[in-house]
Chain A
Amino acid sequence: MTKNDALARMLTAMADDALIQGHRNSEWTGLGPIMEEDIAFSSMAQDKIGHAWALYRMLQEDLGGQDPDAFAFLRNEKDYKCCHFVEHPNGEYDFSLMRHFLFDHAEAIRYQQLRNSSFAPLRPLAEKLKGEIKYHTLHANAWITQLCRAGEESYARMQSALNTCFPLALGIFEPDEAAEAILVAEGVYPGEKQLKEMWVDRIYNLCAAAGLNLPAEDGVTPAYGGRKGYHTEYLQPLLEEMGAVFRSDPQAIW
């Protein structure tokens, strides 16, 4: 595997996570519990899909990849590298909020590290995306804190959502040994294990402040497979819906 192959694997995984999570966020438009939440999830959807697009464009311009739209919409399921966590349907608001909290802190940490990447095109993009994600985590923190203080049922649901989400969230950091060895040696980024440790430190403190118990890592099975192209039953229907318009006429000029 060359360094460029390894970079392409990493960028594809990041972009696919953002694209699929963006699509899930967009499914809250018009359905949020209050209008401000409709706006928040719609804005975060727009951000995420914009982030995916910027990464697909980097793949095209710097690593000889395909047209971003074709790459986003025309691949086979097994060629997507998103983690299982983002594939799951929104479920109830507690699951969506907890996923948003865990996922966005993971992204914030990843982009914080990528600001110092040896891969020059990533540095300005990471700087930019990190600044935007700051508002995603701010939003998530505010709601987690508020709902944990909103009474017994509300607190119980947040704890239960955390228990459900935590093993799935660990899948964000699924190792990709061959590629990671190159990327870490080349100073592209610190590697998944180190990112995961930074993430656990951060969310542990935030959960503790909200009174939530973070499950022990060694007591759960991380939801791995996505980075290798093995997906949940939820991805294929999402891809069909997401790409339906594009596939109806891939040559169309919009």
Chain B
Amino acid sequence: MTISESDIYKALEQVMDPEIPVLSVIDLGMITGVSVEEAGVRVKMIPTFSACPAVDYIKQNIRTALEKALDTKVTVEIDREATWNSDRMAAGAHEKLKNFGIAPPQMRQGEEHAEIELHTACPHCDSENTYLRSPFGSTLCRAIHYCRNCGYVFEHFKPLG
């Protein structure tokens, strides 16, 4: 059986982020390239945060999942040419985040904008009557907001670039 790039992407859709288990590494936009080589499959990826403690764990998960799905040797490497930003999330990832109870990131509007402070809609009631409590939450990618409409404190996947 020859392996195609689309086989690799399909298998990658099954590799979930350990901190946000409803999003795959594809949903998050962490994959920058795949290739089929004589020695096996090669995957290039980028971490969401430079200090992300889960990078090695994710690399291992990708390797294990792909080796199982494709029955070949798999190499996963960090792509040092590319940097991750939150606009890289795949279509559909925002909806999945919201259903998981986390407000999705706003699209970035340039470096001087504090998108995080504006119109972060509550994932529970959709109200934009919210305010930023802290730009730091339970993981590096999350901020904490308060919804004045329904009274919930909710987490927000920060816009990052």
Contacts and interface: CB of A to CB of B under 8 A. Distances in A.
Contacts of B83: 124-125, 127-128
Interface stretch (A42-50, A183-191, A211-219): A42-50
Given A46-B51, A132-B49, A132-B50, A36 B134 contact: yes
Contacts of A39: 134, 136-138
Contacts of A112: 111
Nearest to A55: B50
A40 B85 contact: no
B135 A131 contact: no
A129 B50 contact: yes
- Name which of A43, A46, A49, A51 has the most chain B CB atoms within 10 A of its CB: A43
Contact of A138 (B51, B135, B144): B135
A47 to B, nearest CB: 5
A250 to B, nearest CB: 20
A15 B26 CA distance: 32
Nearest to A134: B111
Interface of A: 36, 39-40, 42-44, 46-47, 49-51, 53-54, 112, 121, 124-125, 127-132, 134-135, 138-139
A40 B134 contact: yes
Contact of B50 (A40, A42, A128, A134): A128
Contact of A54 (B50, B81, B114): B50
Contacts of A54: 50
Nearest to B134: A36
Contacts of B117: 138
A47 B51 contact: yes
B157 interface: no
Interface residues of B, number: 27
B93 interface: no
Given A124-B81, A131-B85, 9 more contacts: A43-B136, A50-B51, A53-B51, A127-B83, A128-B83, A128-B84, A134-B111, A135-B135, A139-B134
A132 B135 contact: no
Nearest to A52: B51
A50 B161 CA distance: 17
B50 A130 contact: no
B116 interface: yes
Given A43-B140, A51-B50, A125-B50, A36 B135 contact: no
Nearest to B137: A39
A50 B54 CA distance: 12
Interface in B72-107: 80-85
B158 interface: yes
Contacts of B114: 134, 138
Contacts of A132: 49-51, 160
9 contacts: A36-B144, A39-B134, A40-B134, A47-B140, A49-B51, A130-B111, A131-B160, A138-B114, A139-B134
Nearest to A34: B134
A44 B136 contact: yes
B135 A139 contact: yes
B53 interface: yes
Contacts of B161: 127, 131
B119 interface: no
A112 B116 CA distance: 20
B10 interface: no
- Name which of A49, A51, A128, A129 has the most chain B CB atoms within 10 A of its CB: A128
Given A36-B144, A138-B114, A139-B135, A124 B49 contact: no
A138 to B, nearest CB: 5
Contacts of A128: 50, 83-84
A54 B82 CA distance: 14
Interface string B113-140: 0101100000000000000011111101
